[in-house]
A and B are shown apart, each in its own frame.
Chain A
Amino acid sequence: MGPSRWHVDKPLLYALLLLAAISLAIVYSASAKNESITIAHFVRMALGFMVLIAIAQMRPELIERAAPWLFGLGLLLLVAVLGVGAVSKGAQRWLGLGGLRFQPSEIMKIGVPLVLAWYFARGGLPPSWPRIAIALIITLVPAALIAKQPDLGTALLVVASGLFVLFLAGLPKAYIVGALALAAAAAPLFWSRLHGYQRNRVLTLFDPQADPLGTGYHTIQSVIALGSGGFYGKGWLNSTQAHLEFLPESSTDFIFAVFGEEFGLVGILLAIVLYGFIAARALLIAFYAQDSFSRLLAGGIALEFFIQFFVNIGMVSGVLPVVGVPLPMMSYGGSSIITLLAGFGMLMSIQTHRKIVEF
């Protein structure tokens, strides 16, 4: 272990802090210099980093032991939230705990990869088919509960996180090919079960002009923001798309469009390098990890982080439908920053508690 008494992975920490700083600057701009929003964002970030440091100090064995309990707790809270939701009609995702509010579905974004890594570590890799079936159930039950809230975006993310761990655990290729074929076949069925507005979001992807003031509006305005940023951008606080209020959700889901408009390709390249660095560092930690639990968990967290980045930027740049996934470490609001940084805390714990033995 290094000379430092603190268990932190410095490259990862610095990259995350840099992103957090960029995020604060851009939230300030996108919220039209709203100080209270910026301060709230700062407080959440600070809280997130405290959680990260705290978790990084724990031994991975401790995290491993806590995995099934955390998952169980998350599942219980999800059921509780549905119970409360049933009473008050309409969607309910929040649980109030003595003044604090949080979304139990956020726990599952980390809980599912955690419990799957724990499960697969208790049996050889690659997993046998009954174990694969159980893993799928572990993934799909919370996902279904979250989808019922309804929060389709988070539900799909939870499914993705489960599938990533399955993939890393060595899910046989035949299964992957089969699943892809099945998904292609089931697509029309899935399509018919979508809500009207969900379908519209997909359709407008191909022709945003079809409904320029309705569902296509977000995409059109966000692509204009990005495109008009050009090479060097319009400069900080100069996003006309956000400030003239053409761009909706400018400090949450579409914050990257504001970033691209103000800092141009140069800024975006920097951002992508940063995100890429973080993803690469996380994958490297997975590579260096020495037991199955640590590997699967680290790999799962790394890929889940990346998929959120990919889906958000794909949505903002108009190559994916508008699905309401925030940009990790950048978007304002939600309890997602805390979960995200908790995940990175686990990565650091894995990285800094490695045994010295090398093979």
Chain B
Amino acid sequence: MLNIPLKDYLRETRIFNTRLGWAAIGVLVFTAILLARIVYLQVFDYRHYATLSQANRVKPVPVPPARGLILDRNGVVLAQNFPVYTLEIVPEQVDDMGELIADLSKLVRVTDGDQESFRKLRRERPRFESLALRSYLSEEEAARIAVRLPFLNGTELRARLQRHYPLGGLAVPALGYVSRISEQDLDRIDKTEYRGLQHIGKLGLESTYEGLLMGRVGVEKVEINAHGRSLRALERIAPTAGRNLHLHLDAKAQAVAEQALGNRRGAVVAIEPATGAVLVFASTPTYDANAFVNGIDQPSYSALIENPDKPLINRALNGQYAPGSTIKAFFGLADLEAGNSIDMNRQVFCDGSYNLPGSAHQFRDWKRGGHGAVTLHEAIVQSCDIYFYRLAVALGPERIKNFLAPFGFGLATGVDLPGESSGLLPSPEWKRARGQPWYPGDTVAIGIGQGLLLATPLQLASAIATVANRGARMQPLLLRAHSDARDGSQTALKPTTLDLVPVKDSRHWERLTQDLIDVVHSARGTARAIGANAPYRIAGKTGTAQVKSIAQGARYEEKETPERFRDHALFIAFAPAEEPKVAIAVIVENGGHGSSVAAPIARKVLDQIILGAPAAPGSIAVRPALAPTADQEE
């Protein structure tokens, strides 16, 4: 049974048994130490500790701090704290519980479930404790109780602060929400810091800046009697309220963006080019963050999860899309920079299709029959595909990657939101690492922003902001400053430069900008519809990203394609073109054309930010959502 020599076996047994003996002695000694300590505590020091236990009358009760507010750039409150009323009863002060509950039921609704959980509390908790009968009373219910409180023996009305998002679903992708502290949270937080607190930032800014928002818990030392009844407060260390967050976000522009997207699946991100300030961060469809604060009920949650439009996905942050023709804005600069690959005024003949040498596969232009002979300027303005197929092949995958990287493609922007996606800037090594060869066709597809290349709306906005800012890529940030809740003293965050796009000739920026202006403002530009009546000049690029590949020789017919396979509509822009105040990226999933669907949305948001008024007639108001009420009885 053992294929080692007996002598070795015996030796090993001896070694092990000796060690085991030592271990047994260790176990005995350490147990003896514990036992001695416990005998000492329970026998010799018993009187001392029994007295302490009896006299253990000062109980530290945590006093929760108020969580910091979140305000937009104009002081519009996006997240606040709202008093929530709970109806409580102290059983020992009540003569006839049945009668009292019957009386209370006439004032506010008390369900059988409420009564059941109250009965359970009564069995479990001491008689002198205040036990909850109903939570989440509406203001009106609370008022009805408050008026009669003097006549209701043993009844208490407790107010507690709860997080509330007054604008409901507005800017949820940026704000995130707080929710009840879960078991997983308990695992990573310092529990003493959260004593008395029930909520924690789960997503978005509420999570990123949890440390600033939460404040510091205070302590009240309360004297209690032997049964645990509170007698009086002895001493109080006041809690420190959390710091208020002041965002770059513009709630009005955000509302315009969300309403312009409507029920469609899409995202809008607007950034101030010079600072990286995020002005709009929208993802639709949106949902009401208030539902999550106290734990969303299962049917509502299932409805959100099963909704085919996936409202819980943060499309602005995590939606990774093929940028489509919007990428041509950047390739335009690459072309100018490369200079030698395609001459400035050299024309490329676009006959509507492109073949790689020695291949029968046709890469088609979106315009059947092609654009004829086009210069770079015309190629950008009319979004000619053939020009950029050729350009991409001339540049090659390595140079494309090196050129696009400083614009932030393939790299998380580092915005102050958790869980950002990084998009994908593919390269032959990247593909090789996944065991696949790089095909020349991969390079061709990147030329028009299709294929492997993926970017988030935030990345696209940051990239076009970099163009507006003449190559200086600024760190996108939602937070402008945070302030002390008591004295209002502010600490502002400084804009930081992430990267500089190197250019050989700074005039290339002007030329590219002119090309992009002509996309919107020239007679043949793809986005001319939104430029027609604009009081300022917009530099932009449309994009229509293919979702489903079209068979060779077949044609894409929007009306005949099921909605989920229709093209994504994109538009990126900055304005005013001469002195950019805002850069924007818009995507509408399966929206169809960038020019007809995405660009008009961008125009509305740009109007709101630049002119301070929405473009369309009928004002879009920032209207507070109703406060949460447990029941709508009226």
Interface residues of A (CB under 8 A from B): 32-34, 87-94, 101, 124-126, 164, 167-170, 197, 213-215, 217, 221, 223-231, 240-241, 243-246, 248, 260, 264-265, 268-269, 272, 275-276, 279-280, 283, 286-287, 291-292, 295-296, 299, 302-303, 306, 310, 313-314, 317-319, 355, 357, 359
Distance from B459 Cβ to chain A, minimum over Cβ atoms (Å): 17
Q: Which of B2, B30, B60, B124 contacts A217 (CB 8 A)?
A: B60
- B42, A279: Cβ atoms closer than 8 Å: no
Verify B59–A226 contact, CB threshold 8 A. no
Expressed in whole angstroms, the Cα–Cα distance for A221 and B47 within the complex equals 15
Among A227, A280, A295, point to the contact of B52 (Cβ < 8 A).
A227
For A34, the chain B residues whose CB sits under 8 A away are 124
The 26 listed contacts between A and B (C-beta, < 8 Å) are A34-B124, A89-B207, A90-B188, A101-B184, A125-B16, A168-B16, A170-B12, A213-B60, A215-B192, A221-B56, A224-B53, A226-B38, A227-B42, A227-B46, A228-B46, A229-B42, A231-B42, A240-B56, A244-B224, A260-B42, A292-B16, A296-B16, A302-B23, A303-B23, A319-B37, A359-B13
Give the shortest distance, in Å, between A248 (CB) and chain B (any CB): 8
The distance in angstroms between the C-alpha atoms of A230 and B48, with both chains bound, is 10
* Candidate in A101, A126, A227, A302 with the most chain B CB atoms within 10 angstroms: A227
Q: A223-B49, A313-B38 are in contact. List 5 more A-B contacts (CB 8 A).
A: A164-B23, A230-B46, A231-B46, A241-B56, A243-B228
Could you say which of B2, B43, B48, B228 contacts A231, with CB atoms under 8 Å apart?
B43
Complex Cα gap A223–B30 (Å): 19
Cβ B27 vs Cβ A283 within 8 A: yes
B146 in contact (CB, < 8 A):
no
Q: CA separation between A167 and B13, bound complex, in Å?
A: 14
Contact A265 B43 (CB under 8 A): yes
The contact of A359 among B10, B23, B38, B39, by CB within 8 Å, is B10
Nearest-neighbour CB distance to chain B for A157, whole angstroms, equals: 15
B35 at the interface (CB under 8 A from A): yes
Q: CB-CB < 8 A to B419: which residues of A? A: 87-88
- Given A125-B15, A170-B15, A265-B43, A317-B34 contact (CB < 8 Å): yes
Q: Which residues of B contact A (CB under 8 A)?
A: 1-2, 4, 8, 10-13, 15-17, 19-20, 22-24, 27, 30-31, 33-35, 37-39, 41-43, 45-46, 48-50, 52-54, 56, 59-60, 124-125, 184, 187-188, 190-192, 207, 219, 221, 224, 226, 228, 418-419
Residue contact B418 to A168, C-beta cutoff 8 Å: no
Most buried by A among B31, B45, B53, B59: B53
Q: Are A197 and B190 in contact (CB under 8 A)?
A: yes
- Across the interface, do B37 and A317 meet the contact criterion of CB distance under 8 Å? yes
- A276–B31 CA distance with the chains assembled, in angstroms: 8
Q: Which 4 pairs from chain A and chain B are nearest by CB?
A: A227-B49, A91-B188, A228-B53, A170-B15
Q: Is the CB of A272 within 8 A of B35?
A: yes
Contacts of A245 in B (CB 8 A): 59, 228
Q: Which residues of A have CB within 8 Å of B187?
A: 91, 93-94
Q: Judging by beta carbons under 8 Å apart, are B52 and A283 in contact?
A: no
From the candidates B1, B12, B31, B207, name the one contacting A125 in the complex (CB within 8 A).
B12
| Chain B residue, CB-CB nearest to A269 | B35
When distances are taken between beta carbons in the complex, the residues of chain B under 8 Å from A228 are: 46, 49-50, 52-54
Q: How far is the CA of A89 from the CA of B46 in the complex (A)?
A: 47
Contact B19 A260 (CB under 8 A): no
B50 touches A299 (CB 8 A): no
In the bound complex, residues from chain B placing their C-beta under 8 Å from that of A269 are 35
CA distance A35 to B188 in the complex (A): 26
Give chain A nearest CB distance to B206 CB in angstroms: 13
Which A residue's beta carbon lies closest to that of B187? A93
Question: Given A94-B184, A224-B52 in contact, is the A268-B37 Cβ separation under 8 Å?
Answer: no
Q: With the chains together, A85 CA to B191 CA distance in Å?
A: 19
| A33–B35 alpha-carbon span in the complex (Å) | 29
Closest A residue, CB atoms, query B61:
A245
A223 with B41: CB separation less than 8 A: yes
Determine if A357 and B56 form an interchain contact, defined as CB atoms under 8 angstroms apart.
no
Distance between B71 CB and nearest chain A CB, rounded to angstroms: 24
- Given known A-B contacts A224-B53, A226-B49, A246-B56, A168 and B42 have beta carbons under 8 A apart: no
B45 in contact with A227 (CB, 8 Å): yes
Asked whether, in the complex, the Cβ of A319 is within 8 Å of the Cβ of B42, the reply is: no
Check B59–A313 contact: CB distance below 8 A. no
A257 to chain B, nearest CB (A): 10
